[in-house]
Amino acid sequence: MCVNVIGAGLAGCEAAYQLSKRGVKVKLYEMKPNKKSPAHKSDLFAELVCSNSFKADRVNSAAGLLKEEMRKLDSLLLKAADKSRVPAGGALAVDRESFSKIVTDEIKSNSNIEVVNEEFSDIESDDITIIATGPLTSDKLADRISKLFGQSLSFFDAAAPIVDFKSVDMEYAFFESRYGKGDKTDYLNCPMNKEEYEVFYDALINAERAPIKDFDVRDPKVYEGCMPIEVMAQRGKDTIRFGPMKPVGLTNPKTGHRPWAVLQLRKENAWGTMYNLVGFQTNLKFPEQKRVFGLIPALHNAEFVRYGVMHRNTFLNSPKILNSDFNAKSNKKLFFAGQITGVEGYMESASSGIIAGINAYKRLNGEDTLILPKTTMTGALSRYISDDTVKDFQPMGANFGILPELENRPRDKRERGQAYADRALKDLSVYLESVRI
């Protein structure tokens, strides 16, 4: 019997891989290259449309713990990330084209996976099906899902611009990681004094934004983690100066002092020819991006390889629709995975794909599905998206706040993170020894 996986993004590729390694034949439906969403540009699988960073790598961070759990579950994407890694201090960042190519090659060369380049909409198929179409689900499929479940939500997601490294004015910029973490060349800093910042700020909050495209839904809700910089700035003059432009942990070697504000640039590829503007997701018109961001001294002659864009991000009212195993409550043969379920973030999406893939296999074999311990980050996320006591459901990324409280909670933040990680990995090991996956 074949399992359908819909979407060759992060979650879909993980789900297909988990099924295929267990000997299951998979039909992986991907509408690219015949049809692309407004935010997708590449024909490759597992395309990274926003940042090229998978966040912190240290295990005593929430993001790092999630990745360690995924490694123990044999994540395909983390293998690809390790092969395509670029320097990013304490974060795991990748050369996005190399990363996607590795994943694409692995999937296409897998004899158990048949790639079908078609748009899929038969969600009531007799076959077990995993819908992993992500935040940019096609209109046809989104309409089918809405009709079947009655409730789905949408908000807008924004991507940051990318600039050519050679166009950054090094008379103003300097290399340094905050507090000296990682290699000092991991981040390129664009400092501003108070006067420069205030000129930039006034231009930013008054800049012209791009119109809402006809593919977007009305009355957008913007998820906090991808808030456009111009929207964040309107909350107050110091909001972004204590957010993405915070100067803490940095000293400008040209002045010997901490800047008033700093925009950090991070390597976009392994060669360091392109850098993305960290935390500068935006919906400004393209000429406005060049004008406003060009007010930052180091970027006054910046050449933009890619301008920031804003796009639709659709997710289910999952607490009403899904169980903790990512199975639809109303249909045992239908699973969902990825950002459409309300997990927020690259690795969060991929981890849900792992669990959905394993559980589709177990359902196929008449076995009980897998629900990881609530003390694990993966298990906590799956419980959050299926918690029907949540009244105003919004996407959630990995964070220690969704884990059960520690019995003896350390006061030190790092020690507390390590305690969460130690407990999670111990409980995960015990659990995996007790089940067949």
Query: CATH number, domain at 388?
Result: 3.50.50.60
Q: Tens digit of pLDDT for each residue in 245-261? A: 999 999 999 999 999 99
The Cα 327–Cα 333 span in angstroms is 8
The Cα 205–Cα 370 span in angstroms is 48
Claim to verify: residue 84 and residue 177 sit in the same structural domain: no
Claim to verify: residue 343 and residue 389 sit in the same structural domain: yes
Q: What is the CATH number of the domain that holds 228?
A: 2.40.30
First to last CA, the chain: 18
Claim to verify: residue 8 and residue 138 sit in the same structural domain: yes
Claim to verify: residue 300 and residue 170 sit in the same structural domain: yes
Beta strands 331-336 and 85-86, pairing class: unpaired
The Cα 292–Cα 296 span in angstroms is 8
Claim to verify: residue 126 and residue 22 sit in the same structural domain: yes
Claim to verify: residue 182 and residue 101 sit in the same structural domain: no
Q: Sheet with 25-29: list strands edge to edge.
A: 113-116, 25-29, 2-6, 129-131, 331-336, 327-328
SS3 assignment for the chain: CEEEEECCCHHHHHHHHHHHCCCCEEEEECCCCCCCCCCCCCCCCCCCCCCCEEEECCCCCHHHHHHHHHHHCCCHHHHHHHHCEECCCCEEEECHHHHHHHHHHHHHCCCCEEEECCCCCCCCCCCCEEECCHHHCCHHHHHHHHHHHCCEEEEEEECCCEEEHHHCCCCCCEECCHHHCCCCCCEEEEEECHHHHHHHHHHHHHCCECCCCCCCCCCCCECHHHCCHHHHHCCCCCCCCCCCCCCCCCCECCCCECCCEEEEEEECCCCCCEEEECCCCCCECHHHHHHHHCCCHHHCCCCEEECCCEEEEEEECHHHHECCCCEECCEEEEEECCHHHCECCHHHHHHHHHHHHHHHHHHHCCCCCCCCCCCCHHHHHHHHCCCCCCCCCCCECCCHHHCCCCCCCCCCHHHHHHHHHHHHHHHHHHHHHHCCC
Claim to verify: residue 230 and residue 134 sit in the same structural domain: no
- Last residue of a domain, which of 271, 290, 308? 308
Claim to verify: residue 273 and residue 337 sit in the same structural domain: no
The Cα 6–Cα 15 span in angstroms is 10
Give residue 425's pLDDT: 98
Give residue 225's pLDDT: 63
The Cα 303–Cα 384 span in angstroms is 42
Half-sphere CA count of 274, side-chain side, radius 13 A? 18
- Structural domain span for residue 268: 162-308
Q: Which residues contact 168 (CB under 8 A, 6 or more apart)?
A: 188, 190, 265, 275, 298, 299, 302
Which of these, 382, 383, 393, lies nearest to 316 by C-alpha position? 393
- Written as one letter, the residue type at 312 is R
Claim to verify: residue 169 and residue 278 sit in the same structural domain: yes
Give residue 215's pLDDT: 41
Taking a C-beta distance cutoff of 8 angstroms, is the pair 191, 169 a contact?
A: no
Half-sphere CA count of 83, side-chain side, radius 13 A? 13
Give residue 95's pLDDT: 96
- Last residue of a domain, which of 248, 283, 308? 308
Claim to verify: residue 396 and residue 268 sit in the same structural domain: no
- Last residue of a domain, which of 308, 327, 358? 308
Beta strands 91-94 and 53-56, pairing class: antiparallel
Low-confidence ranges of the chain (pLDDT < 50): 214-220
| 31, 32, 33, 36 alpha-carbon torsion, rounded to 10° | 100
Claim to verify: residue 304 and residue 385 sit in the same structural domain: no
Residues forming beta bridges with residue 274, ordered by sequence position: 164
Taking a C-beta distance cutoff of 8 angstroms, is the pair 1, 364 a contact?
A: yes
| Total domains, the chain | 2
The Cα 317–Cα 395 span in angstroms is 10
Query: 357-394 burial, b for 16+ CB within 10 Å, e for fewer?
Result: bbbbbbbbeeeebbbbbbbbbbbbbbbbbbeeebeebe
Claim to verify: residue 57 and residue 149 sit in the same structural domain: yes
Which of these, 52, 37, 10, lies nearest to 305 by C-alpha position? 52
